[in-house]
Structure 1
Amino acid sequence: MGIKKQLGMGVMSAALGLSLIGGGTYAYFSDSETTNNTFAAGTLDLAVEPTQVIDVDNIQPGESMTRDFELQNNGSLAIDKVLLETDYSVIDAEGDNTDDFGNHIEVEFLYNADKLDEVIYQTTLAELKDLTPEAVNEHVFDPLLGEDGLEPDTLDDLVVKFNFIDNGEDQNQFQGDSLNLEWTFNAQQAAEDES
């Protein structure tokens, strides 16, 4: 390599070294801030008051009983859907049932106690047991709660009328029988738009 090339390479190396040293000691202004952030999950808390909707003895065909109860949203999130699961068991006193007692107990979901003729949905306990919770929401709770659902810290009254259907036939097989009804209410939150 010629002397000119060596000198040229030496000058270039020195210039590069100086620029790196100069770049490392270059002073500038700076500032920084730190944010503290929190994610707190909301709560979904559906309550039913009272917890025992109906307890009757000595019912007979043709008899009706009206009961009301509250669906309460005690959480911080809106409830969009209420899904009701129905289950029951029949205790056959005489062991002679040829039919399901639930086929003879009719349930009418009403708008309120003052307007007993305004039925939201009517079915038997046996049919209600076979319905999906989504179908019950569509037939009962959508019309009752409306588009807004159940907002936090609010409640809605639900009125239910139970009818022991008198079918005009011999219903002696149900004498002394009892039906234990279990309703499980499940709440689903309202979908929120992204903010």
Structure 2
Amino acid sequence: MSLKKKLGLGVASAVLGLTLVGGGTYAYFNDTETSTNTFAAGTLDLTLDPEVIFNVDNLKPGDSMKRYFEMQNTGSLDIARVLLDTSYNVSDANDNNGNEDLGEHFVVKFLKNEGHPESWLDNDEYTVVEEISLADLSTMTPDDLAVELEDFLFWDYEEDGIPAGGTDYMAVKIEFVDNDEDQNIFQGDSLELEWQFTAEQEEGERR
């Protein structure tokens, strides 16, 4: 064999070796496993029953109204706390209120039922947890009010919050205060009260 042919075979062998090295090692036995993972978020859902707590007309100073409502946790996550934000709007029928605010003449009394839940609707054993005018209530931040009402919210549970599927029973009384003075400027006026309840989740946990 000539030197030229020998050199040609040598080059071909070298190229083949590089191809095998470059292609890597191939395993004829292999096994593949697939992990399919799912992350689903829960729901935080606070429901008020009834949604309209007060709807009263033809009021006069000295009248009071006690109402009951439920805060239901209809979501899948526990509720850690509920914040209450208050706002209201006064319609002055005769444009003669001047600097007088009808909201200062309405007092809200948050009540705690000291009886048994099964007799909630007809039980008169109540303790006033907090008493505050609508005017002052509307200036409080939800966080500050939560501190004031810590004995009112979630009284039905050993720990704060409403567990998923649970219900907290509330009672509140609003009084149109008779201040023994002339309150004629409020005749025909109306007050629209908006309470916004905001439920917050519990802190995250290791799962």
TM-score (normalizing by structure 1)? 0.81
- CA 1:173–1:35 in structure 2 vs 1: closer, same or farther (change >3 Å)? same
Aligned residues with identical type, % of pairs = 50
Q: What is the aligned counterpart of 2:147 among 129, 138, 158? A: 138
What residue identity is the alignment partner of 1:178?
S
What residue identity is the alignment partner of 2:106?
I
Provide the C-alpha distance between the structure 2 equivalents of 1:117 and 1:159, rounded to a whole number of angstroms.
9
Deviation at 1:93, TM superposition (A): 1.1
Partner of 2:97: 97
Report the secondary structure of 1:69's partner residue. Answer: strand
Q: What is the aligned counterpart of 1:163 among 159, 172, 175? A: 175
Deviations 1:31-75 (A, max 9, x none): 442221100010011111111110111111111110011111110
What residue identity is the alignment partner of 1:88?
Y
Partner of 1:122: 131
Provide the C-alpha distance between the structure 2 equivalents of 1:145 and 1:31, rounded to a whole number of angstroms.
55
Conserved in 1, the CA contact under 8 Å of 2:67 and 2:173?
A: yes
Displacement over 3 Å in runs of 4+ = 24-32
Please give the residue correspondences for 1:32-181 in structure 2 after superposition, counting only pairs within 5 Å.
Answer: 32-98=32-98, 99-112=100-113, 114-115=123-124, 117-140=126-149, 143-145=152-154, 147-181=159-193
Please give the residue correspondences for 1:12-31 in structure 2 after superposition, counting only pairs within 5 Å.
Answer: 31=31
Deviation at 1:133, TM superposition (A): 1.1
1:182 counterpart = 2:194: yes
Report the secondary structure of 1:118's partner residue. Answer: strand
Provide the C-alpha distance between the structure 1 equivalents of 2:65 and 2:57, rounded to a whole number of angstroms.
11
Deviations 1:134-180 (A, max 9, x none): 12222225642153401111111111100111111111111111101
Deviation at 1:192, TM superposition (A): 2.8
Partner of 1:4: none
Provide the C-alpha distance between the structure 2 equivalents of 1:79 and 1:142, rounded to a whole number of angstroms.
17
Partner of 1:6: none
Deviation at 1:115, TM superposition (A): 4.6
Conserved in 1, the CA contact under 8 Å of 2:80 and 2:199?
A: yes
What residue identity is the alignment partner of 2:110?
F
Conserved in 2, the CA contact under 8 Å of 1:81 and 1:141?
A: no
Partner of 2:6: none
Deviation at 1:194, TM superposition (A): 2.0
RMSD, matched Cα? 2.4
Count of residues in Structure 1 that have an aligned counterpart in Structure 2:
178
What stretches of structure 1 of length at least 5 have no aligned partner?
1-13
What stretches of structure 2 of length at least 5 have no aligned partner?
1-13, 114-119
